[in-house]
Amino acid sequence: MRLPENPAHAFLPYPAVPVEHAAAGPLAGLSFAVKDLFDVAGYPTGGGNPLLLALSGIKTTTAPTVQKLLDAGARFIGKTHTDELAFSMNGRNAHFGTPVNGGAPDRIPGGSSSGSAAAVSNRLCDFALGSDTGGSVRAPASHCGLFGIRPTHGRISLDRCLDLSPSFDTCGFFARDSRTFGRVADVLLGADATPLPQRVRLLRPEDVWGLLGKEVAAALAPSLVRVETVAGAAQRCDAALDSFDKMYWSFRHLQGREAWMADGPFIERFAPPLGPGVAERFAWSKQVTDAQVDAATRFRGAYHRHLAELLGNDGVLVMPTMPDVAPLLAADESELEAYRNAAIKMLCLSGLAGFPQVTLPLASRLGAPLGISLLGPAGCDRSLLTLAAAIASS
């Protein structure tokens, strides 16, 4: 591998040490990139923070999920930038810069799996591994015009991957086309223990759609028709419990507490300079109270039951992935923070429930990509992708 100079700002400029892959296998001929949270033997793991990179040393064991891809014949081409400590959703890393959104180069790529989305959307590789805690695959997939999945929590191993908030962290991936997306899914997901039936019960959560502005809803309308054409007319429903505020704060309190448990010791010991937004979020996370965590834990249980009941074994929510197309690169930090807070309200459904969500690059607005999502019950990941592929090819 010899990459051109800093293509699309997607990859960390690591010297290329050989990473072996099987000569044949279901992913033979495909190249892939790995978010710099996962260990790859011969490489450091930086997690988007320069000091963590400096302290990393060279890893001697490859994360099992990466190894699975190599064993299936896929060719590793590099490690990709991540938002700092994965605790951001916009893709602007204050230290390492901003990967280029291949679907809308004047807009942020979204994050935290920013470099992986940049690598795939700029056609530097066929697919890429990311992680999704609160939207870190779904947001950049929607922003960059890619297929992306947040799988059922725990379904794809995150062993030898830096934690953000373990009870939310998932290993997801990106591809430009549904066929490649499906090939990777076959390797990483295998068959569903609880597949969706041939005929799903499509549900349209009015409350989630109600979070959108009119122009965004209009931009998504044709994609919604495509989904209904394949999956049948959607029934209306509501998907939130209590209120979106309750959902939002439950997610944030739990994510914050766990993020502080994961990264607080590093931050307190070394006081590394953290980028704008990230520093504030960690400071906020540190002071989340036990009472907030207890209340949020109870709510999460209730929400899981609520959504499990709503979906049963055949229900699939069709909903917007993000509140809008990606903000412009010139957006200031407060705009991004407002956008992030709006996004969390729709991203936290699958996070709180631990259910899989797939985003499809079917729409656009202002010349920029916009994703539409399918969210199903736990363990239906592979059938959700089959449905997504049928919709994409319709």
Can you read off the two tokens belonging to residue 261? 């448990």
Pick from 26, 42, 105, 166: which binds a copy of itself (CB under 8 A)?
42
CA distance 139 to 19: 29
For position 5 contacting a copy of itself by CB under 8 A, the verdict is: yes
Chain-centroid distance of CA 191 in Å reads 21
**Which range, of 26-34, 54-62, 100-108, 319-327, touches a copy of itself by CB under 8 A?**
54-62
CA distance 356 to 20: 31
For position 96 contacting a copy of itself by CB under 8 A, the verdict is: yes
**Which range, of 93-101, 184-192, 315-323, 328-336, touches a copy of itself by CB under 8 A?**
93-101
- DSSP-derived secondary structure for 229-266: HHH-PPEEE---SS-HHHHHHHHHHHHHHHHHHHHHHH
Which residue, among 28, 182, 174, 67, has the nearest Cα to 114 in the 3D structure?
174
For position 95 contacting a copy of itself by CB under 8 A, the verdict is: yes
CB of 205 to a copy of itself, least distance (A): 40
For position 105 contacting a copy of itself by CB under 8 A, the verdict is: no
**Which range, of 92-100, 118-126, 323-331, 375-383, touches a copy of itself by CB under 8 A?**
92-100
Please, which residues have CB within 8 angstroms of residue 347's CB and are 6 or more apart in sequence?
134, 135, 138, 139, 321, 322
Task: Measure the CA dihedral 88/69/185/108, to 10°.
Answer: 30
**Which range, of 8-16, 125-133, 148-156, 379-387, touches a copy of itself by CB under 8 A?**
8-16
For position 222 contacting a copy of itself by CB under 8 A, the verdict is: no
Pick from 91, 275, 371, 376: which binds a copy of itself (CB under 8 A)?
275
Q: Which is nearer to a copy of itself, 56 or 292 (CB)?
A: 56
Can you read off the two tokens belonging to residue 137? 């695959």
Please, which residues have CB within 8 angstroms of residue 146's CB and are 6 or more apart in sequence?
103, 117, 120, 121, 140, 174, 175, 176, 359, 361, 369
Pick from 22, 25, 26, 50: which binds a copy of itself (CB under 8 A)?
50
What residues are labeled active site? 35, 112, 136
For position 56 contacting a copy of itself by CB under 8 A, the verdict is: yes
**Which range, of 38-46, 106-114, 156-164, 366-374, touches a copy of itself by CB under 8 A?**
38-46
CB of 7 to a copy of itself, least distance (A): 9
For position 310 contacting a copy of itself by CB under 8 A, the verdict is: no
CB of 42 to a copy of itself, least distance (A): 5
Q: Could you give the angle at the alpha carbon of 327 between the alpha carbons of 325 and 329, nearest 5°?
A: 135
For position 246 contacting a copy of itself by CB under 8 A, the verdict is: no
Q: Give the number of other Cβ atoms within 10 Å of residue 257's Cβ.
A: 22
Pick from 273, 294, 328, 335: which binds a copy of itself (CB under 8 A)?
273
Please, which residues have CB within 8 angstroms of residue 116's CB and are 6 or more apart in sequence?
10, 33, 34, 35, 80, 128, 129, 130, 140, 173, 174
CA distance 355 to 381: 9
For position 332 contacting a copy of itself by CB under 8 A, the verdict is: no
Pick from 12, 196, 311, 375: which binds a copy of itself (CB under 8 A)?
12
Contacts with a copy of itself by CB under 8 A lie at 2-6, 9, 12-17, 42-44, 50-51, 53-58, 60, 81, 94-97, 270, 272-273, 275
